[in-house]
């Protein structure tokens, strides 16, 4: 495989590489016109998203029958993947694991650094390089922002690189969550993604899902965003700058009720208190950022209510029965969207057709 970007001294020094503008970095993680590593939501353009959604739709259709499942399961039966998830995960881990199984990818896993040689003092970088000796892809979730990117960068400098997929990197990014979130929007809106108002609610400062999903919004026409959060947890300036650069209108408010009636999608999030330094979340009244059953009559008949999950109290469980509550479908969409992504990385997506 021909690497798109030539190795230069800038590319072989992590600090120099890390500082580069995202547009300069992307070719380094791309090969043969396809994603090689999946690290940032900015890697998804509209064409790629549409193609991944079509693959995901086709995969879920053909696998309804044993014949189709057997075909899907043969596509990547010659490959092995490592799932290295050293931060808590239920859905991302299980949906990736099952996405691998759907495509026949054989899997192994580490979910706790106390069971790997990191306890003996091995660096995380050496640990991940070791995985690459045994498998053909690494899917990872790590608490340190930038670590997944660094791993992919390191791998690309070795003579046995393997694709790296980011399953969540600290407070920073969660690109495959953004992929499944936009797949959920695509299915909810029957493929018509333009001209929508998306309302994102909760801890926007520390939530990586809302950060990554916001990046994807540049792919659609006439999108507007409303960010609803406590003052302490407003969206970070880098994301607001991104929106300004791309002429995507947005508003910020602490008054959820004032924007819910205009929303085509409401994206709820929990408070991310695992990132607290000194219990600052306890000082915040999060209850104005809950979606309650009384709100159902205030939102559009076509508005969808989403949540990356896990939820605490942000959405009353009585809301689940409303057809506009799509978060359980969103969760399952993750498995199909991730399977489509893996198929794309290995060039097997062409073989998934209805």
Q: What are phi and psi of 241, to 5 degrees?
A: -60, -45
Q: Is 71 one of the annotated active-site residues of the chain?
A: no
- Cβ proximity to ligand NCD, 197 vs 208, nearer residue: 208
Q: How far is it, in rounded angstroms, from Cα 232 to Cα 284?
A: 8
Taking CB positions, which residue lies at the least distance from ligand NCD? Answer: 308
| Binding-site string for ligand NCD from residue 235 to residue 274, where x marks contact by CB under 6 A and - marks none | ----------------------------------xx----
Q: Which of 55, 79, 92, 209 is catalytic?
A: 92
Residue 123: which residues within 8 A CB-CB, separation 6 or more? none
Q: How far is CA 58 from CA 111, 339, 353, in A?
A: 31, 11, 6
Residue 245: which residues within 8 A CB-CB, separation 6 or more? none
- Cβ proximity to ligand NCD, 187 vs 270, nearer residue: 270
Q: How far is the CB of 117 from ligand NCD (least distance, A)?
A: 26
Q: Is 92 one of the annotated active-site residues of the chain?
A: yes
Q: Is 60 one of the annotated active-site residues of the chain?
A: no
Quickly list H helices, the chain: 14-19, 22-25, 46-62, 66-75, 91-102, 124-132, 147-157, 175-188, 208-216, 237-245, 257-260, 327-345
DSSP 8-state assignment for residue 277: S
Q: How far is the CB of 247 from ligand NCD (least distance, A)?
A: 28
Q: How far is the CB of 205 from ligand NCD (least distance, A)?
A: 13
CA atoms within 13 A on the CB side of 188: 28
Identify the residue among 55, 107, 173, 177 touching ligand NCD (CB under 6 A): 177
Q: Using DSSP, state whether 322 is helix, strand or coil.
A: coil
Q: Is 50 one of the annotated active-site residues of the chain?
A: no
173 binds ligand NCD per the rule CB under 6 A: no
* Active site members: 91-92, 120, 141, 174
* Residue ranges in contact with ligand NCD by CB under 6 A: 91-92, 168, 174, 177, 208-209, 269-270, 308-310
């Amino acid at each position: 495989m021909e690497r798109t970007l030539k190795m230069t001294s800038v590319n072989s020094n992590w600090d120099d590489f890390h500082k580069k503008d995202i547009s300069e970095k992307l070719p380094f993680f791309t090969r043969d016109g396809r994603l090689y590593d999946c690290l940032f939501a900015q890697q998804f353009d509209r064409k790629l998203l549409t193609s991944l959604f079509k693959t995901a739709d086709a995969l879920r259709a053909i696998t309804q029958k044993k014949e189709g499942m057997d075909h899907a399961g043969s596509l990547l039966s010659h490959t092995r993947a490592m799932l290295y998830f050293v931060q808590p995960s239920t859905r991302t881990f299980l949906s990736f694991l099952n996405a691998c199984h759907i495509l026949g990818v054989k899997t192994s896993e580490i979910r706790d650094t106390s069971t790997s040689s990191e306890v003996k003092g091995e660096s995380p970088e050496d640990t991940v390089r070791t995985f690459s000796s045994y498998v053909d892809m690494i899917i990872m979730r790590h608490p340190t922002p930038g670590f997944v990117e660094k791993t992919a960068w390191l791998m690309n400098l070795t003579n046995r690189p393997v694709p790296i997929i980011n399953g969540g990197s600290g407070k920073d990014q969660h690109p495959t969550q953004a992929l499944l979130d936009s797949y959920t929007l695509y299915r909810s809106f029957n493929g018509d993604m333009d001209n929508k108002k998306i309302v994102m609610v909760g801890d926007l400062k520390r939530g990586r899902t809302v950060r990554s999903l916001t990046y994807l919004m540049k792919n659609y026409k006439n999108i507007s965003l409303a960010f609803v959060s406590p003052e302490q947890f407003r969206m970070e300036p880098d994301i607001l700058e991104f929106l300004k650069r791309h002429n995507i209108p947005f508003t910020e408010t602490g008054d959820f009720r004032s924007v819910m009636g205009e929303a085509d999608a409401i994206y709820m999030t929990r408070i991310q208190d695992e990132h607290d330094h000194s219990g600052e979340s306890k000082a915040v009244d999060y209850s104005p950022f809950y979606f309650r059953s009384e709100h159902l009559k205030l939102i559009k008949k076509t508005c969808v209510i989403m949540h990356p999950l896990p939820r605490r109290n942000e959405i009353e469980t009585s809301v689940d029965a409303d057809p506009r509550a799509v978060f359980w479908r969103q969760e399952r969409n993750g498995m199909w969207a991730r399977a489509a992504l893996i198929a794309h990385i290995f060039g097997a997506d062409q073989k998934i057709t209805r």
